[in-house]
Structure 1
Amino acid sequence: MDDEALSNWKLILTPAGEEWSGRARYAAAMYFYRAGEMSAEVLEIYRICSRIDHEDAVDALKAYKMGDAWIEKVERMRGALG
């Protein structure tokens, strides 16, 4: 993993509740979308959650029962970087 990818993983894993965390996660989501690692539907959930700092987009994905492959990837990275 290169430095840019690692930096974006750290951003997308920013804990919910921190000021501007929703926007940070959305910015990283755009990186992963452009890299072909995230679907447009998952990106849209990050966009919707971007203005709600206390809402974790992964929790929203789970609630809407979508983005299973992305959720698995995020959970693996949380364990690796957590």
Structure 2
Amino acid sequence: MDENDETARNWTLIATPPGEEWSGRARYAAAMFFYQRSEMSAEVLEVYRICSRLDAEDPLAVIRDRGIGRDWLAKLGKAGR
């Protein structure tokens, strides 16, 4: 798998809708990918970690409620997520 395919796959995973079985873990795995590439802060990654076992919880709502991750939210907006 080349880098573009891996990045696209992780964009798909990070956008997994809340409520789907194992969606929290899928989003967290993708979040770790973006964190390791320095595209996400540790604070935002922590939200995805906390939400990883809560499939119905929307990590983006938690991020917004905490007033963190403005850069990450902007990146998602630009990516159409």
Gaps of 5+ in 2: none
> Separation in 1 of the partners of 2:36 and 2:22?
22
- SS across alignment from 1:16: coil
* CA RMSD across the alignment: 1.2
Q: Which runs of 5+ in 1 are unaligned?
A: none
| Matching residue of 1:40 | 42
TM-score normalized by the length of structure 1: 0.91
Q: Choose from 61, 64, 77 the match for 2:63.
A: 61
**Partner Cα separation in structure 2 for residue 17 and residue 40 of structure 1:** 24
1:9-58 Cα offsets, whole Å, 9 max, x none, are: 00000001000000000000000000110011110000000010011111
Q: In the alignment, residue 57 of structure 1 is paired with which amino acid?
A: P
Give me the whole-angstrom Cα distance separating, in 1, the residues matched to 2:73 and 2:61.
Answer: 9
- Alignment counterpart, residue 8 of structure 2, candidates 1, 6, 13: 6
Question: Structure 2 length as normaliser, TM-score?
Answer: 0.92
For 1:71, which of 62, 70, 73 is the aligned residue? 73
Identity rate, percent:
57
Once residues 35 and 74 of structure 1 are traced to their aligned partners in structure 2, the CA distance between those partners, rounded to angstroms, is 15
Q: Where do 4+ consecutive residues of structure 1 move more than 2 Å? A: none
Aligned counterparts of 1:37 and 1:76: Cα–Cα separation in 2 = 13
| Equivalent of 1:28 in 27, 30, 55 | 30
1:73 positional shift? 1.1
